[in-house]
Chain A
Amino acid sequence: SQTIHQWPATLVQPVGSPLSLECTVEGTSNPNLYWYRQAAGRGLQLLFYSVGIGQISSEVPQNLSASRPQDRQFILSSKKLLLSDSGFYLCAWSAGSSPLHFGNGTRLTVT
């Protein structure tokens, strides 16, 4: 069966520090991969999605970037965090247009 792993679960980082969140999927090949952000009590904002290795589409211009170095690995990065980057970051995968399967999320607090 397919599983998705996302870490860390929580993170507290100072303003201006770098960020790296990792997500890996097991049990499937060539998944579509997604990074979403959710502000407290708010909806889901699509940040990046990828349909294959090295193929990244950005939905919202900001100081975040994403990379897909391997088929089932998706990384969200920032060189310098802003206070507004705080939120709940969710990685998800899908097979084509099938429903999304989300990871447990990373709760990021930028101080």
Chain B
Amino acid sequence: GQQVMQIPQYQHVQEGEDFTTYCNSSTTLSNIQWYKQRPGGHPVFLIQLVKSGEVKKQKRLTFQFGEAKKNSSLHITATQTTDVGTYFCAGVKDTDKLIFGTGTRLQVFP
């Protein structure tokens, strides 16, 4: 079946360092979404990417969709303690059903 993998599984960084999580799908996606889940909370939608090679920015966050629409990345510049949480990508195939990635848990040390 369709799988969406994320690496790394965990990342610990010092505040101010950059962070990147990578998302890879076994099949081509129609679009990809990114969510953030704070500790003890529920996932919250961040952004959606639709076009091949698309790059979107939200302040210190940069999202990229691969040319082949099978991979994506989220890069955070100069992390802050408020960035702590688990970041999930979620791929949409032609069934309109979201397949969530395995998630990357980010810990930021002050």
Contacts and interface: CB of A to CB of B under 8 A. Distances in A.
B43 A44 contact: yes
A47 B103 CA distance: 18
B98 interface: yes
Interface residues of B, number: 22
A99 B48 contact: yes
B84 interface: no
Given A43-B88, A97-B31, A97-B92, A102 B44 contact: yes
Please classify the interface of chain A as helix (H, G, I), strand (E, B), loop, or mixed, using the class held by over half of its residues: loop
Interface string B58-94: 0000000000000000000000000000001010100
Contact of A43 (B41, B92, B100): B100
Contacts of A96: 96
A23 B8 CA distance: 33
A105 interface: yes
A104 B42 contact: yes
Interface in B18-56: 30-31, 33, 35, 41-45, 48
A100 B45 contact: yes
The CB with the most chain A CB atoms within 10 A, among B31, B33, B96, is that of B96
Contact of B42 (A42, A46, A99, A105): A105
Contacts of A90: 42-43
Interface of B: 30-31, 33, 35, 41-45, 48, 88, 90, 92, 96-103, 105
Interface of A: 32, 36, 41-44, 46, 49, 90, 96-97, 99-105
21 contacts: A42-B103, A43-B88, A43-B100, A43-B101, A43-B102, A43-B103, A44-B88, A44-B103, A46-B97, A46-B99, A49-B97, A90-B42, A90-B43, A97-B31, A97-B96, A99-B33, A99-B48, A100-B43, A100-B98, A102-B44, A104-B42
